[in-house]
Chains A and B, each alone.
Chain A
Amino acid sequence: MKETSLINLHKSNGAKLVEFAGYNMPIQYPDGILKEHRFTRTKSGIFDVSHMGQLFIYGDDILTKDLEKIFPIDLQNLKINQSKYSFLMNENGGIFDDLIITKISKGYMIILNAACKINDYKILKEKLNDSYKLELKENLSLIALQGPGAKNILGKIIPETTNLKFMHGGDFNYNNFNLYVTRSGYTGEDGFEISIPNEIAENFTKILLINGSKLIGLGARDTLRLEAGLCLYGNDLDTETTPIEANLKWAISKKRIDDQYPGSEVIKKQFFSGVKKLRVGIKPDTKVIARANTKIYNDDNKEIGKITSGTFGPSVEYPISMGYIDNNYSSIDTKIFLEIRGKKIAANVCKLPFYQKNYLKEI
């Protein structure tokens, strides 16, 4: 099993370790998922996401044009150090991976899901015909600092990072090492993702800890992203689901809707004519939790969909789920039924996200 450069720090902080995408990763620390979740929402949490892929593709304007033949976004108007959420798709518009692509001075940096990164690399290398240098960096760690306190804590260490705008990044000097920091994350909070050389990752994380942040495990990362209405690849997104069905139409460039890229025909059709199934938020009427693979029924007992993620929302303090439902039932407040342990539980389609950040309360 692979380990990240923070493995010793996880162990010395009492992490419960589990295998995730081939890596030995912390699922939680002694505080537990509820406390870790709430600490991130009120203070700030440190997430080791070094298992995710950091892919660099080097090239110039021609590379931009070639990547537009792969990704459904407007890369020509992406500024240097600006990031966008996008997808690697198959010919049917099904999603191989959801990713963050950032334009850097030498080309592009793409953050990939851990379980998908090797396959993504192969697909991209093949599609780009070996015309460009691709590097899936193993010498870099990725640390996310998330929460209302993140800005102040990172600002104490690297003051210039506080000027970064959301979905923008830049190079920063730290003890004569170069860090690439973006204002982004996957928790529904303000925060940063810090790409940092392996040899200083542990030392840097210790400084975040000294400044009052805490290590947070993958368990709380999952409850945080679900409260924020964000998708988990493998649960909510897969090769059988298109971005339009996933209710991520906003991430498809309308300007490029007539262009060709894998899945572009399906995407264009769904973009204008709609979809048969749609990802929605679901809130059961009771305290019972509807987890992945729970079947969804209408009031005539007809199966109309399936839950893809579900847990208890520690900040909203009720059970939360997302799933795909027949589009005829996707409007907010539609009454539906969930089959849980043989019983039909009443539930409602609800708006996403479950947790709406109140930016005025930012510490």
Chain B
Amino acid sequence: MSEIKFSKEHEWIKLEGEVATIGITKHATEMLGDIVFAELPEKGSKIEKDGTAGVVESTKAASDVYTPLSGEVIDTNQKIVDDPAKINEDPEDTAWFFKLKLKDKSEMDSLMNKEEYDKFAKESNS
């Protein structure tokens, strides 16, 4: 069974075994507008919880992508680098950003479930 969690920086995290797939939420894409550029962390790099792990840019502005968890980047989604519009089209599934081999699974505990995130997103929007 996979478990989906959410961060306050508007990322979604899908955990399968020791590996977390991370992307940005639909709510985040709606706030950003049309995404025209994406930069991802390097495969094999080790990243720390709450550190920057990439960039997305809309026509209007650049925004950092943070990692909600620590670990080693074992895969990145080249498709969204080649065609950033995919992030707006299917943010919470095929347009994932990177996969992490987790350093400390307990970091998952501080993340929100869907219900909590929806409430958080609604409040941060107003």
Contacts and interface: CB of A to CB of B under 8 A. Distances in A.
- Determine if chain A interacts with chain B: yes
Size class of B's contact patch? 10 to 19
- Which residue, B59, B60, B62, has most C-beta atoms of chain A within 10 A? B59
Contact of B36 (A27, A28, A219, A289): A289
Contact of A219 (B37, B59, B85): B59
B33 A312 contact: no
- Which residue, B34, B37, B39, B55, has most C-beta atoms of chain A within 10 A? B34
Contacts of A361: none
B34 A34 contact: yes
B59 A34 contact: yes
Contacts of B59: 33-34, 219, 222-223, 311-312, 314
B57 interface: yes
A35 B85 CA distance: 12
A147 to B, nearest CB: 18
Nearest to B59: A33
Interface in A191-227: 219, 222-223
A312 B57 contact: yes
Contact of B33 (A219, A288, A291, A319): A219
Contacts of B57: 289, 312
Nearest to B58: A33
Contacts of B62: 289, 291, 341
A33 B88 CA distance: 13
B60 A287 contact: no
Contact of B37 (A27, A35, A289, A314): A289
Interface in B25-68: 33-34, 36-37, 39, 55, 57-62
A15 to B, nearest CB: 13
Contacts of A33: 33-34, 58-60
Interface in B67-92: 85
Nearest to A31: B34
Interface string A214-244: 0000010011000000000000000000000
Interface in B103-119: none
Contacts of A341: 55, 62
B36 A32 contact: no
- Which residue, A27, A223, A287, A319, has most C-beta atoms of chain B within 10 A? A287
A319 B58 CA distance: 11
Contacts of A32: 33-34
Interface of B: 33-34, 36-37, 39, 55, 57-62, 85
The 10 A-B residue pairs with the shortest CB-CB distance, nearest first, are A312-B36, A34-B34, A33-B59, A32-B34, A311-B59, A289-B57, A312-B59, A33-B34, A287-B37, A223-B59
Given A33-B60, A289-B62, 13 more contacts: A28-B33, A33-B58, A34-B36, A35-B34, A222-B59, A287-B37, A288-B37, A289-B36, A289-B57, A312-B37, A319-B37, A341-B55, A341-B62
Interface of A: 27-28, 32-35, 219, 222-223, 287-289, 291, 311-312, 314, 319, 341
16 contacts: A27-B60, A33-B34, A33-B59, A33-B60, A34-B34, A34-B59, A34-B85, A219-B33, A219-B59, A219-B60, A288-B39, A289-B36, A289-B57, A312-B36, A312-B37, A341-B62
